[in-house]
Amino acid sequence: MPEPFEALGERLLRAGVAPRHVRAYLAELREHLVDLTEQECAAGGDPREAAGRARGALGDDETLAAAMLSCPGVRSLTARAPWLVLGLLPPFLMLLAMMITVILLIAVPSHKGLVTPLAMYRLAPIVVIAGNLLIIPAVAALFALISWRQRLAPAWALAASGVALLFFLHMDFRFGAPDFRALPPGLRLTYTPDHQVRFGLYMAPIFHPRTWTLMAAQWPLVMAQYLLTLLPAVWLWLARRRAVRSAA
């Protein structure tokens, strides 16, 4: 049995109301519905008829939706400017996640008693490979979840994934001096703690020839990353198609 006001909640989400406001509004309406039903039952009415009269006293979905939409500030930023949230934020969030990962790899061995530098240097390549493979798909999945919660068209989730894949964002950990001539122009952050071990973070557009060379050298990792990044948007599109067919 569907929850009371479930259809109203879907309508508000599709109208751009922030999910937190929708949850609070529906919780308030359900409390009012319970109170009105109890009052009707206390007056000697049949419980089923009392519930119907209580629901009618609150107003139909059109009236309740109009009341919510008339409140200022209830529409989310994602609904008001999806191009900003789903178009510009993904690259910054990817870069931030990778920067935090690299900083932790650098900072953890410096704390005595936590991890020895030798153990961290053995662990770092695994962390770097896992980060290169999973961070960008995780960001794409996050924005697909945002699109679903706000009931946006699946094309916006696909756009977020596409924007994320316009950049080759790569963490690096290796022994020896870097060859900067092989790197494409773009953001480049490197740290060499003892002149033998190098941590690096690079962000470059994928359309540069040197970027193609780097991607081709790691094509299994890049292909897996691309497939995982597109998967959330494709899943959302298929789920929306199933929902439309079920409603038809």
Q: For the ranges 36-45, 68-77, 189-198, 231-240, which has the lowest average pLDDT?
A: 189-198
Bigger pLDDT: 23 or 178?
23
Per-residue pLDDT of 89-115, as tens digits, reads 898 899 899 888 888 877 766 555 555
Given this model, what pLDDT does residue 228 score? 92
pTM, 2 dp: 0.81
- Residue ranges covered by each domain of the chain: 6-75, 78-247
**Phi and psi angles of residue 191, each rounded to the nearest 5 degrees, phi first:** -145, 125
Given this model, what pLDDT does residue 47 score? 67
Residue 187: band (very low, low, confident or very high) from pLDDT cuts 50, 70, 90: confident
Q: Give me 70's structure tokens.
A: 């008339």
Per-residue pLDDT of 34-81, as tens digits, reads 888 888 777 766 666 777 787 788 888 888 889 898 888 889 888 888
Given this model, what pLDDT does residue 111 score? 54
Q: Average the pLDDT over 208-218 and give the result.
A: 84
Given this model, what pLDDT does residue 179 score? 58
Q: For the ranges 125-129, 136-140, 151-155, 175-179, which has the lowest average pLDDT?
A: 175-179
pLDDT at 138 over 90: yes
Given this model, what pLDDT does residue 208 score? 82
Bigger pLDDT: 123 or 147?
147
Buried b (16+ CB within 10 A) or exposed e, 47-61: eeebbebbbeeeeee
CB count within 10 Å of CB 206 equals 15
CB count within 10 Å of CB 34 equals 13
Most trustworthy range by pLDDT among 25-39, 97-111, 170-184 = 25-39
**Residue 189 CB-density burial (10 A; 0-12 exposed, 13-18 middle, 19+ buried):** middle
Given this model, what pLDDT does residue 218 score? 85
Given this model, what pLDDT does residue 1 score? 46
Bigger pLDDT: 198 or 224?
224
Q: Average the pLDDT over 139-167 and give the result.
A: 89
Question: Chain-wide mean pLDDT for the chain?
Answer: 82
**Three-class SS of 59-125:** CCHHHHHHHHHCCCCCECHHHHCHHHHHHCHHHHHHHHHHHHHHHHHHHHHHCCCCCCHHHHHHHHH
Bigger pLDDT: 113 or 192?
192
